[in-house]
């Protein structure tokens, strides 16, 4: 299905960052015809729709970083958006809990980082106050972050797309249409898909788990590579749900790029516990034994992957053991809620996180967005990208306006 008309912008990728970019661009340029392409049968079908649903505060991220600025600004904008447009959410607050003395300096650093980032409604809490907020939680000290909450990210994504299309009937969201390639043309580019060819003046790639491959298909000499990590969740059963009222997080270990197993009260009232973090042999695979040859070869033929493995061998082995052992997973959960037992938890869903991994084996920590001529690539958008999506979309729209000298602003 080829469209002979030329699009002003084609966006590749229908997660929340792609939808937010569509919304921000269409709001700024209501006269533009914009096409959003998504290869799955629904928007938000991978990272966006399979994360923990948390609206992050911005308390963890290095002051001055793109993550820190956009998480705080994006959170405030996302909450206002959800209130205005009826997206299900709840600003319920969360506890970050220290369970032993060696965690106290790290807890203090997190609090100081939150202050530097301008995170509002934070306070230190004592062991007694932890019990008052979460009666079944045991800790020696904590930080309560009142501005953190939960949201239905799938609904937020769909709402952003719907609002954009309402502004311009000539724009379109095409699901089930996979990007296959791009070539330069006299008036912009030709985007080839599973359904045809689209002519466009500008292209924006928001490919998440496939962002490195999309960049290379566009001729980029990107040296880093996306490596996927699956996160498995457990749910609290009906008999265990009363033991968690809000969000409860451990103090993260700075040696590892993840926040640790935590408790999340979802917008539907269920309670999730997790995730762990294990290397996945399939970028878009959510089962413990899912496998894809291309994804596996891409990851294991990359030197950065092995440097990461060797540096974190013990951690990785423990995560894999926990992935296949309910008892070990429970033991981790009991650090925060000692009264949990085997009958309180049951296997839940899983998600996959895209991490841009450097050749030195280090995760690229900050968001990364690059422009190449009339194309923009979101190369790295790990957590808290969903929280920050509207701020990221706004940044992309601003970059497009400045670098592409778009008219009609």
Structure confidence at residue 314 (pLDDT): 84
Q: What local confidence, expressed as pLDDT, does residue 407 receive?
A: 65
Three-class SS of residue 344?
Answer: helix
Residue 215 has pLDDT above 60, yes or no: yes
- The mean pLDDT value of the chain amounts to 94
Listed range (54-63, 98-107, 250-259, 348-357) with the worst mean pLDDT: 250-259
Measured CA to CA, the distance from residue 193 to residue 41 in angstroms comes to 15
| Residue ranges of E strands in 237-309 | 247-250, 262-265, 271-274, 278-279
Q: Is the pLDDT of residue 312 over 90?
A: no
pTM of structure: 0.95
Which residue reads 């030195």 in tokens? 360
- In the predicted model, what is the mean pLDDT of residues 278-292? 94
Q: If pLDDT is split at 50, 70 and 90, which confidence band does 315 have?
A: confident
- pLDDT average, residue stretch 68-90: 97
pLDDT of residue 406: 80
φ/ψ of 19, rounded to 5, equals -65, -40
Alpha-carbon span 146 to 92, nearest angstrom: 7
Q: What is the pLDDT averaged over residues 189-214?
A: 97
The answer, yes or no, to whether residue 160 has pLDDT greater than 70, is: yes
Q: How far is it, in rounded angstroms, from Cα 219 to Cα 207?
A: 15
Express each pLDDT in 356-368 by its tens digit: 999 999 999 899 9
* pLDDT tier for residue 1 given thresholds of 50, 70 and 90: very low
**Residue 323 confidence (pLDDT) above 90:** no
pLDDT at 5: 83
Pairing of strands 247-250, 94-98: parallel
Distances (CA, A) of 35 to 13, 170, 201, 217, 293: 10, 9, 11, 19, 31
The domain 3-48+154-224+365-403 is placed in CATH, from the list 3.20.20.80, 3.50.50.60, 3.30.450.80, 3.40.50.300, at 3.50.50.60
Q: What is the pLDDT of residues 122-138, one digit of tens each?
A: 999 999 999 999 999 99
Instruction: Specify the pairing of strand 3-12 against strand 196-205.
Output: parallel
pLDDT per residue as tens digits for the range 223-247: 999 999 999 999 999 999 999 999 9
CA distances from 202 to 150, 267, 372, 373 (A): 34, 37, 10, 9
Please tell me the predicted confidence (pLDDT) of residue 368: 94
CA–CA dist 76, 326 (Å, integer): 37
- 3-class secondary-structure state, position 244: coil
Nearest Cα neighbor of 145 from 128, 116, 124, 118 is 124
Q: 153 near 101, Cβ under 8 Å?
A: no
- How far apart (Å, rounded) are the C-alpha atoms in residues 133 and 79? 23
Count of Cβ atoms closer than 10 Å to residue 165 Cβ: 18
How far apart CA 75 and CA 57 sit, in angstroms, is 7
Tell me, what's the pLDDT at 317? Answer: 87
Bridge-based pairing of strands 149-151 and 122-126 is unpaired
pLDDT of the residue at 405: 83
Q: What is the mean pLDDT of residues 75-99?
A: 97
Q: Quote the pLDDT of residue 271.
A: 96
Contact 183, 199 (CB under 8 A): no
Calpha distance 56→85 (Å, rounded): 20
Task: Work out the average pLDDT over 157-184.
Answer: 97
According to the model, what pLDDT value does residue 4 have? 65
pLDDT in tens, 341-393: 999 999 999 999 999 999 999 999 899 999 999 999 999 999 999 999 999 99
- For residues 38-45, average pLDDT: 97
Let me know: does 33 contact 354? Beta carbons within 8 Å.
Answer: no
DSSP 113-161: HHHHTT--SEEEEEHHHHHHHSTT---SEEEEETT-EEE-HHHHHHHHH
| Omega before 306 within 30 of 0, i.e. cis | no
Give the three-state DSSP class for 296. helix
Phi, psi for residue 250 in degrees, rounded to 5: -80, 170
18 within 8 A of 11, measured Cβ to Cβ: yes
CATH of domain 225-357: 3.30.9.10
Residue whose C-alpha is closest to residue 220's, from 14, 361, 377, 354: 377
What percent of the chain stands above pLDDT 90?
89
- Domain ranges for the chain, please list them: 3-48+154-224+365-403, 225-357
In this structure, the strands spanning 188-193 and 247-250 are unpaired
Q: What's the confidence (pLDDT) of residue 187? A: 87
């Amino acid at each position: 299905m080829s469209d002979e008309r030329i699009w002003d912008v084609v966006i590749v990728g229908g997660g929340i960052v792609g939808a937010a970019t569509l919304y921000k661009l269409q709001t700024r340029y209501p006269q533009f015809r914009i096409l959003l392409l998504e290869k799955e049968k629904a928007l938000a079908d991978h990272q966006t729709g399979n994360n923990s649903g948390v609206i992050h505060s911005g308390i963890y991220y290095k002051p001055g970083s793109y993550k820190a600025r956009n998480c705080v600004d994006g959170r405030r904008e996302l909450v206002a958006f959800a209130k205005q447009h009826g997206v299900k959410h709840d600003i319920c607050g969360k506890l970050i809990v220290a369970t032993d003395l060696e965690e106290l300096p790290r807890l203090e650093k997190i609090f100081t980082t939150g202050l530097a980032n301008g995170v509002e409604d934070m306070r230190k809490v004592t062991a007694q106050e932890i019990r008052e907020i979460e009666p079944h939680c045991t800790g020696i000290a904590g930080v309560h972050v009142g501005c953190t909450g939960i949201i239905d990210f799938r609904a937020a994504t769909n709402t952003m797309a719907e609002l954009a299309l309402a502004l311009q009937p000539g724009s379109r969201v095409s699901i089930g249409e996979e990007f296959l390639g791009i070539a330069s043309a006299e008036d912009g580019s030709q985007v080839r898909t599973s359904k045809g060819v689209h002519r466009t003046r500008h292209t924006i790639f928001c490919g998440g788990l496939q962002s490195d491959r999309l960049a290379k298909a566009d001729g980029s000499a990107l040296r880093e590579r996306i490596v996927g990590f699956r996160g498995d969740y457990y749910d609290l059963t009906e008999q265990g749900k009363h033991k968690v009222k809000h969000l409860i997080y451990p103090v993260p270990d700075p040696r590892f790029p993840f926040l640790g197993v935590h408790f999340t009260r979802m917008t539907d009232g269920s309670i999730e516990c997790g995730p762990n973090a294990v290397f996945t042999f399939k970028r878009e695979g959510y089962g413990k034994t899912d496998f894809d040859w291309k994804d596996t070869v891409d990851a294991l033929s990359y030197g950065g992957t092995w440097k990461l493995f060797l540096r974190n061998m013990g951690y990785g082995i423990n995560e894999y053991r926990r992935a296949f052992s309910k008892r070990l997973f429970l033991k981790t959960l009991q650090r925060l809620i000692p009264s949990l037992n085997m009958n309180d938890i049951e296997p839940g869903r899983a998600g996959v996180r895209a991490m841009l991994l450097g050749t030195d084996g280090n995760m690229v920590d900050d968001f990364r967005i690059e422009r190449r001529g009339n194309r923009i690539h979101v190369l790295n958008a790990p957590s808290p990208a969903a929280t920050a999506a509207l701020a990221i979309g706004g940044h992309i729209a601003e970059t497009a306006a400045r670098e592409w000298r778009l008219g009609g602003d």
